[in-house]
Chain A
Amino acid sequence: MAFNGYQRDNDEATDEDETPTKQMRSMKEMPKRFLLNEPNNDTTTAASGSATSDRRLSNSAARQRMELLGKNRPPFPWFGMDIGGTLVKLVYFEPKDITAEEEQEEVENLKSIRRYLTSNTAYGKTGIRDVHLELQDLTICGRTGNLHFIRFPTHDLPAFLQMGRNKHFSSLHTTLCATGGGAYKFESDFRTMADLQLHKLDELDCLVRGVLYIDSVMSSGPSECYYYENPTDPEHCIQLDYTLENPYPLLLVNIGSGVSILAVYSEKNYKRVTGTSLGGGTFLGLCSLLTGCSSFEEALEMASQGESTRVDKLVRDIYGGDYERFGLPGWAVASSFGNMMSKEKRESVSKEDLARATLVTITNNIGSITRMCALNENIERVVFVGNFLRANTLSMKLLAYAMDYWSKGQLKALFLRHEGYFGAVGALLELLNPS
């Protein structure tokens, strides 16, 4: 289990894991109204009941501010979680405006979580904090701080839950807002393994909300949204910022393990147009079967070194050039993996070629379905998100190319820097501003 490494990585955390129960007691002194989910644990309910009255005695400045600025502001820690088929995405808000008084009041447990998350960039063997995505000096709900973006594989969720249990996360009485299929699938695991009650949220609601939010807060500084200029000309293809003012209507294509395509008309008005099962999971799944690679990064690395034209059959392989009768250029793929029908050619391709062909096949297919949806829905702007695109310039350029070329410039492919984290951001927003 990758998350076993938590304790080795962070001695401080290890120490604090053994924090005596006195700390817990004070942590239970959270006003009950902040608990979105009524705890069904008898002892907890009883404890929080008595703690509430204790708490009323203290009348700190922090408390005053909380009451002024956000009656409904939940207690720290603020998390948003998106448990997908392959990856768990976690966003964590680190308050930077903590007053001395607050600091003093902050329970050790909470402090340790904050320190653990913010002072590391890798957790266990597979947990990673995408430092380059961190949003600094962000003000949410009247608090200013940094938003951190963390991910780990879904199959390591048990280790994460174990960590939560070891760190007595449940004692913080925070509401854990979670979305993605895993929020449903693992709900009981959260309860039994970590004594945590999940507030489950719809993944598409969260996705749309997250995208619109991140784009809005990124208006200063580097743009969240970008596109490729001259996508059909590799020599002059450059990445440029794009201002997503008046974003509607918008086709939102989320490429995770599978793909969902949404038509978004406003924050509250969107529909799932269709989806395809040929997504990131297919790329990685086929790659690992074909090449023996074991991670997305490895698969991408191999793909970057391969040549898909040895694997795919192109129009020119069949027609010797363009198929003019139907306006098909010679370079277009006629049959993905089509050359692999021949034994000799199967024997002559490299693993890198196969990885590249898999990437190209999956990406072009998503492009093609997206384009058809855009036509059917009469939408000209397409935003591609999802972790399939993480560090995957190859696919993004392919998508940009495909959108531009086949639509004769009518469609624009847009990308967002926080690719796969929008669901988790949406979940966090739900915690702070229940809709």
Chain B
Amino acid sequence: MAERDRVDRSSSSHSMDKSITLPPDEIFRNLENAKCFAIDIGGSLTKLAYYSTVQHKVAKVRSFDHSAKDAAEDKLYEISEQEEITARLHFIKFENAYIETCLDFIRDHLVNTDTKVIKATGGGAHKFKDLIEKKLGLSYARVDKEDEMTCLIKGCNFVLRNIPHEAFVYAKHADSEFRFQNTHPDIFPYLLVNIGSGVSIVKVESEDKFERIGGSSIGGGTFWGLGALLTKTKRFDELLQLASKGQHTSVDMLVKDIYGGSYGCLGLTGDLIASSFGKSATADTEFSKEDMAKSLLHMISNDIGQLACLYAKLHNLSRVYFGGFFIRGHPVTMHTITYSINFFTKGEVQALFLRHEGYLGAIGAFLKGAEEDNPNQYSWGENYAGSSGLMSVSPDMNPMQRARSGTFDMLEMDRLERKLVNLPLLQDPSSYIPDTVDLTEDALAREYWLFCFEEALDGVVKRALASQPDIPEATERAEKFRQKYRHKLQTLRHQPFAYGSLTVRSLLDTREHCLNEFNFPDPFSKIKQRENDMALKYYQTIVKALELLSWEEKQFALVRGVLAGNVFDWGAKAVSDVLESDPEFGFEEAQRQLEERPWLVDAYDQWLERLKGPPHKCALFFVDNSGMDIILGVMPFVRELLCRGTEVVLASNSGPALNDVTNGELQILTGRIAEMDPVIQLGLKEDRLTLVQSGSSSPCLDLSRLDKELAQVVRERKTDLVVIEGMGRAIHTNYYAMLSCESLKMAVIKNSWLADRLGGKLFSVVFKYEVPPGDKHQSKDPVAPPTPS
């Protein structure tokens, strides 16, 4: 049953507390150009959604006109920070008591809007319709009520499709109570069990096709209503708290109360509940409120779980998501539902929960209202800087505290310029996990990396400031960035699950989001520029030196070149210290730093054997850093591939991240190299060397979210080799990625802790060459890689 009228709140809730002061400018952000408002008013919480545009700085590079040759400095290209407008979705959740204050704030700050219709859903929608229309003073606007279930499903599809690690399994006694699920490439079909006052069971088959296949009247309202009668406790949260302290065995009749032990021949254990409240039917004793609440919770959770399983079985569905106010972030109910599902399906079906479950209605209502902007044709990304993340459900924190601390909760999603899709070469997209170590589960690693990022913060702030030397208010922004990111790190220390599984990648991405938030789009732009300039000067020397070598020597020198180039990494503290203190540190020194063979992971012999065979059809190369790395390491390697007759697709970041080379920069660099090198020039001309953007702005790489165009090129060119370079892309992520073609993962470990973990030392080399099983080029003597855990 839908929960349109979830709650009958006592009349007191209508009195708005106007004395509450909000920090609204931090909550209702970007209201200036807000449009497409949608609101979901539930029993106790209101969710507001709007669409807005964000004006922020982006770093652009532009090639100088070299014919003029008047550029004073010998710079290769010009960096500019331009204002760009991007679209962002804002979702805010707050207690109903704040509705009036919030509407006032919105009215006062809403300008430039052409809002005529506000989509509303949820049980409170009709109650507050007049208030909304009056408060927003939109005499010409109207509030449109949308069907709750339709909104819910639309919202659910949206988050499942756009937010990695949206769904999780709850495990109360595990090291990390949340186990996040990979986004399945195909989200359909699934079952959504919405537990409001009643229960609705909905089968969702596609974006627009869903059906309520069943339901039950025993739901959250039953727990609340019956619980209030039995315990004289009025609030839902308090009832849950009572339940978490009770013992159901004093109220329920267990199998062992009837049998004296287990009912062995049926496999029913003695502790199983034979009859809920069965003991209160016969015993004349008084029962504690806690015990009754617990028994009631078990009864209802088990019943819902059982029905959900019966429906899942009948419709042959294995993905079952649970939502509704009964579930919403309550560890007690997530646990009992999970237990019930495990019991009834013997583990065949997992109970899945959603991080943004509370927002589904608002998101769906918004999407309905924004259909003309067609949000579903884009890819969206969760903005870690602007989103609160999942609240702690630690049992030490009572629900009251949680409610207070969660007074305002925010989710922001950025519209990505390009649509993101899976790399077509993933062996099994549904089981692909980008990240190598899950810091949510690995407490030691988590400790280390959180410390590491905190320690590096000063350096990042300094770098950010240095990138905008002429802007006076940069100091203030840099300080805000420092506070925000430090706060995020502290949050993650306590709630590592806030944005899904915590990984080195998510820590890096959070930092990038925070930098962008405070308008530091590319702190490394100047360093990158300097290093690119410097490296270009050496390009021809390097290429000439390589030409003098024998074929075999050359192959080895090319690989060492890529590895040496990869030493130049401002993201790695060990290296940035060196680069900082010795600006003259050069390519030669870097080569000397490299570990001698045999490397930590060394499949070079297999690679060399392979090179003696026929050339690859097409290689996809995910590049890493700018400067020495791309120009002196990668380009000569690419050049050799081209000479062998292999087409090359160079994939670089769409937006800046650390000192990684961006697609914009690479376009210019490649042009300059082509001027010096006929091989590269011909490659470009014949379209055998192609530059594509990856769709990412992260130092790491998620092969399940790549630019659609990249995927198309990969398919068209019949790519049969993927090269992934660098620590972020080949070790922190994708170390275990299985591809359906040959792959090369090359990195220098520039972090002593990580090196230690992998059984190596600083500047150890990982050279992993993998051939999918059954491939004719499979090496006879594959090297077993050490595991980084």
Contact = CB atoms under 8 A, between A and B. Distances in A.
A285 B281 contact: yes
A124 interface: no
Contacts of B212: 326, 328
Contact of A155 (B4, B274, B282): B282
Given A289-B230, A290-B230, A335-B222, A281 B307 contact: no
A241 interface: no
B282 A86 contact: yes
B197 A338 contact: yes
B225 A289 contact: no
A312 B217 contact: yes
Contacts of B278: 85-86, 257-258, 277, 279, 281-282, 285
Given A180-B258, A277-B299, A361 B7 contact: no
Given A281-B277, A282-B275, A336-B218, A341 B225 contact: yes
Contact of B221 (A258, A337, A354): A337
Interface stretch (B87-95, B261-269, B373-381, B436-444): B261-269
B276 A277 contact: yes
A274 B344 contact: yes
B306 A276 contact: yes
B317 interface: no
Given A86-B282, A285-B279, A341-B221, A202 B265 contact: yes
A258 B272 CA distance: 11
Given A276-B303, A278-B299, A335 B198 contact: yes
Contacts of A144: none
Contact of B275 (A202, A258, A311): A258
A373 interface: yes
A319 B260 CA distance: 48
A405 interface: no
B311 interface: yes
Given A86-B281, A365-B216, A338 B228 contact: no
Contacts of B234: 343
Interface stretch (A2-10, A60-68, A181-189): A181-189
A376 B312 CA distance: 10
Nearest to B287: A289
Nearest to A205: B265
Contacts of A319: 4
A278 B276 contact: yes
A346 interface: yes
Contacts of A317: 5
A319 B5 CA distance: 8
A334 B197 contact: yes
Contact of B229 (A290, A312, A361, A365): A290
Interface string A310-328: 0111010111000101101
A372 B310 contact: yes
Q: Which of B10, B263, B282 has the most CB of A within 10 A?
A: B282
Interface stretch (B247-255, B461-469, B565-573, B751-759): B247-255
Contacts of B251: 285
B292 A181 contact: no
Contacts of B214: 368, 372
A258 B251 CA distance: 14
Contacts of B200: 326
Interface residues of B, number: 66
Contacts of A318: 1-2, 4-5, 123
Contact of B303 (A337, A354, A365): A365
B392 interface: no
B260 A185 contact: yes
A85 B221 contact: no
Interface in A239-288: 256-258, 272, 274, 276-282, 284-286, 288
Nearest to A202: B265
A335 B281 contact: no
Contacts of A85: 253, 257-258, 274-275, 278
A153 B258 contact: no
A368 B307 contact: yes
A335 B1 contact: yes
A315 B311 CA distance: 21
Interface in B281-323: 281-282, 287, 292, 299, 302-303, 306-307, 310-311, 313-314
A323 to B, nearest CB: 7
Contacts of A361: 217-218, 222
A355 B672 CA distance: 86
A281 B275 contact: yes
B274 A277 contact: yes
Contact of B259 (A181, A256, A281, A311): A181
B214 to A, nearest CB: 8
A368 B216 contact: yes
Interface string B312-338: 011000000000000000000000000
Nearest to A181: B258
A276 B276 CA distance: 9
Nearest to B255: A181
B280 interface: yes
B281 A257 contact: yes
B277 to A, nearest CB: 3
Contacts of B281: 86, 257, 281-282, 284-285, 288
Given A313-B197, A341-B228, A372-B310, A282 B217 contact: no
Contact of B274 (A257, A325, A328): A257
Contacts of A204: 266
A277 B343 CA distance: 13
Contact of B225 (A278, A280, A328, A335): A335
A257 B225 contact: no
A220 interface: no
B273 interface: yes
B276 A285 contact: yes
B37 interface: no
A272 B287 CA distance: 33
A342 interface: yes
Contacts of A335: 1, 196-198, 217, 219-222, 225
B228 A289 contact: no
A354 B229 contact: yes
Given A277-B252, A281-B277, A289-B277, A153 B282 contact: yes
Contacts of A342: 8, 10
A175 interface: no
A71 interface: no
Nearest to B5: A318
Contacts of B456: none
B197 A286 contact: no
A112 B765 CA distance: 96
A336 B217 contact: yes
Contact of A372 (B7, B266, B314): B314
Contacts of A84: 258
A256 B263 CA distance: 16
Contacts of B4: 318-319
Nearest to B295: A285
Contacts of B279: 285
A432 interface: no
A379 interface: no
B639 to A, nearest CB: 63
A373 B311 CA distance: 10
B361 to A, nearest CB: 15
Given A274-B344, A289-B287, A376 B198 contact: no
7 contacts: A182-B259, A257-B275, A277-B299, A282-B299, A336-B217, A336-B218, A337-B229
Interface of B: 1-2, 4-5, 7-8, 10, 123, 147, 149-150, 196-198, 200, 212, 214, 216-222, 224-226, 228-230, 234, 251-253, 255, 257-261, 263, 265-266, 272-282, 287, 292, 299, 302-303, 306-307, 310-311, 313-314, 344
Counting from the closest, the 5 A-B pairs by CB-CB distance are: A340-B225, A285-B277, A281-B275, A181-B258, A185-B260
Given A187-B260, A257-B278, A312-B217, 9 more contacts: A86-B282, A258-B275, A276-B303, A278-B299, A313-B197, A318-B5, A325-B150, A337-B224, A338-B197
